[in-house]
Structure 1
Amino acid sequence: MTAETVFEGRILSTDRMALGEGPGYDPETDLIWWFDITNCRLNFMNASNRDRRIITLPEMASVLAPVDEKRQLIAMETGLYFRDTAHGALTLHVAIEEDRPETRPNDGRVHPSGALWISTMGKEAEEGVGAIYHVLKGEVTKIVEGMTIPNAICFSPDGETGYYVDTPVGKLMRMPLDPETGLPDGDPEVFIDNAEKPGGMDGAVCDGDGHIWNARYGMGVLDHYHSDGRLIARYQLPARQPTCPAFIGKDGGWMMVTTAAQNTRPEEEPNAGFTFALVTGARPRFDPPYLAEEPLPFRR
């Protein structure tokens, strides 16, 4: 029987995100971030002192990855953009679906090689219009198509396995990868089948032991799966629509979880859209920076 743990954590933000998503953390700068996708807002918070900034973006955006001390990469409706960390200026890195105004970015994560996997979906969740792309040093490769709500993108610590789900289908897929590039190295197979179970598999993160932590949208829980696919723990959250987890804090001792307030009423679900943090005891693991270009050769 799966053990269920009552929420014992803290609220990071009481702002009601219509669609909170894309949480992340950079241990180099101690910076936490997350998005409110449909409101085109990017939230930053210092993990130590909880100083916070909210940035309005010109398009819907859902994923951020550090590049170097001067740049971040942001996935937006028309492509991937570099954001200048000093001044906030946005510069197009590479276009993705710029000719498809009906789509937007959704889930994404950086592979150990430095490649970004980024998914797209219809703005109204139209069936079958979504895809997952692999991007490394500005080169874009479509690796999965015909999806509706691509989610749960995460990778094993050795980079040899990638995971993803089409939320309405409810089957977490496992795909062998080239650990040097993050590109597929074989066909995907069903790893966890939740097709007949309530709620939807949403965002996920892989910890340092290769275990998968998945936000179960509509169920108000964070599910902990062993690397062999067994559900071994379930953490209750005080909001029904969790969307994605991420390790935060320089020691990675906390896991943050974003949630969504869409289709809820404050008087009925007062915590909907809040951003939470809890202690799970998991071995933490942070995503690496995105590899934007070949590293400079070493010179003495």
Structure 2
Amino acid sequence: MSGPMARVAVACGCELGEGPQWHAASRRLYWCDILGRRLHWLAPASGATGHHDLDRMVSLAAPLEDGGLLLVGEDRLVRFDPQGGHARKLCDFEADNPLTRSNDARVDRHGSLWLSSMGKGAEPGAGCLYRLHRGELTRLRTGLTIPNAICFSPQGEAAWFTDTPSGVVMRWALDREGWPLGDPAPWADVSAQPGNPDGAVVDAQGHLWLALWGAGRVVRLDPRGREVDAIALPTSQPSCPAFGGERLERLYITTAREGMDEARRREEPDAGHLFVAAPGVPGLAEPALRLA
């Protein structure tokens, strides 16, 4: 199944683009180049773009309820003021393990942050899944290799995530406070498809948009995990989608050129750019992160 083709929104050339996040208060989309240690932004209304160079790898810039950003970094969580460029450490994040870095993350319906770690060389089982709730970090799951696809149902009764090499997206029931109930269950098996499951986001109809790394596609899965639509990209490594724009009517998609040799990079000159598509359905407004 093939739908519209995404087009380049910003020719940013990320080595590993990740963590697109719409910031409603500033009307900006932020995303990260993890390996390039850079935080990018786009103001769609004016077309203005910019970036901040960082001193470590960062995978998400979450909007804070009281203003500013929380940077999810390789060994710490940092409060960051994008206007003045000031940074202040909130807490350590696997600082005692130099082999790991942060990976996928997303704010849940309760204003808490789910975030993950993985081995810098994708070492099997080195990753974990956490929840930062009101400033306290709790580990939810261990033994993951490349945790991804963290997203949440419209009413907050379920979370999704994947361990990318497994090819299976898991669904986890949540209680009224957003904490997991029991064990996660297999929800969508895409292991028979080209590519591997990467980042994901949920739209206003409760469908999940899932990036398939290696396949150059972002697929739309219905509540039963069946593919019902797709967006094609002219490059093979989409990493994560996010809705943005005033009415959340655009789907922005980060991509990567990590692991590509020179010949492959010539074949895919748009690898690493930020893409945008019109999915035909709006996204869900995601709450800002609450730390207290």
TM-score, with structure 1 as normaliser: 0.93
Aligned identity (percent) is 37
Please report how far the alpha carbon of residue 191 of structure 1 lies from its aligned counterpart in structure 2 after TM superposition.
0.3
Give the match's secondary structure for 2:166: coil
C-alpha distance after superposition, 1:221-247 (max 9, x if no partner): 010000121111122111100000000
AA aligned to 1:12 is A
User: How big is the shift at 1:286?
Assistant: 2.5
Alignment of 1:10-29 (within 5 A): 10-29=7-26
Instruction: Give distance in 1, aligned partners of 2:48 and 2:194.
Output: 37
Q: Note the aligned Cα RMSD (angstroms).
A: 1.2
Q: For the Cα contact (< 8 Å) 2:168–2:189, is it kept in 1? A: yes
Pairing 1:68–2:65 present: yes
Map 1:147-186 onto structure 2 (within 5 A): 147-180=144-177, 182-186=178-182
Q: Is the 8 Å Cα contact of residues 23 and 246 (structure 1) preserved in structure 2?
A: yes
State the alpha-carbon separation in 2 of the partners of residues 115 and 85 from structure 1: 21
Q: CA deviation at 1:69?
A: 5.1
Find the counterpart in structure 2 of residue 275 from structure 1: 274
Contact 1:158 1:179 in 2 (8 A): no
| Runs of at least 5 residues in structure 1 that lack an aligned partner in the other structure | 294-300
Q: 2:204 aligns with which of 203, 208, 212?
A: 208
Q: Which residue of 1 aligns with 2:189?
A: 193
Task: Say which is worse superposed, 84-93 or 237-246, in terms of deviation.
Answer: 84-93
Once the two structures are superposed, the pairs formed by residues 231-242 of structure 1 within 5 Å of their partners are 231-242=227-238
SS of alignment partner, residue 55 of structure 1: strand
1:90 Cα offset (Å): 1.2
Amino acid at match of 2:187: F
Contact 2:7–2:233 at 8 Å: present in 1 too? no
SS of corresponding position for 2:35: helix
CA contact (8 A) 1:215 1:221 kept: yes
Secondary structure in 2 matching 1:243: strand
Q: Partner residue of 1:251?
A: 247
Name structure 2 gaps, 5 residues minimum.
none
Structure 1 residue 131 corresponds to structure 2 residue 143: no
Which residue identity lines up with residue 236 of structure 2 in the other structure? R
SS in 2 for 1:38: coil
Give matches, 1:88-107, under 5 Å.
88-107=85-104
- Separation (CA, whole Å) in 2 of partners of 1:69 and 1:174: 31
| 1:193, distance to aligned residue in structure 2 (A) | 1.3
The code of the aligned residue for 2:34 comes to I
Residue by residue over 1:168-219, the C-alpha shift from the partner in whole angstroms, topping out at 9 and shown as x without a partner, is 0111000001232x21122210001123332100000011111000010000
3-state SS of the aligned residue for 1:118?
Answer: strand
Contact 2:247–2:282 (8 Å) recurs in 1: no
Is the 1:78–1:95 Cα contact (8 Å) retained in structure 2? yes
- TM-superposed deviation, 1:160: 0.6
Q: Give 1:297's aligned residue.
A: none
Cα distance in structure 2, aligned partners of 1:66 and 1:176: 25
Rounded Cα–Cα distance in structure 2 between residues aligned with 1:239 and 1:232: 21
Q: Any conservation in 2 of the 1:207–1:284 contact (CA below 8 Å)? A: yes
Question: Aligned partners of 1:86, 1:263: CA distance in 2, in Å?
Answer: 34
Residue 267 of structure 1 aligns to a residue whose secondary structure is helix
Do residues 57 (structure 1) and 54 (structure 2) align? yes
Say whether 1:284 aligns with 2:280. no
Counterpart contact for 1:70–1:85, Cα < 8 Å: no
Q: What is the aligned partner in structure 1 of residue 2 from structure 2?
A: 4
Please give the per-residue CA displacement for 1:114-164, whole angstroms capped at 9, x wherever unaligned.
110001001110110001100011111111110000000000011110000
SS at match of 1:151: strand
Q: Distance in 1 between matches of 2:7 and 2:66?
A: 30
Partner SS for 2:182: coil
Aligned pairs, number: 289
Matched position secondary structure for 1:101:
coil
The equivalent residue for 2:107 is 110
Provide the C-alpha distance between the structure 2 equivalents of 1:178 and 1:88, rounded to a whole number of angstroms: 37
Paired residues of 1:70 and 1:86 also in contact (CA < 8 A):
no
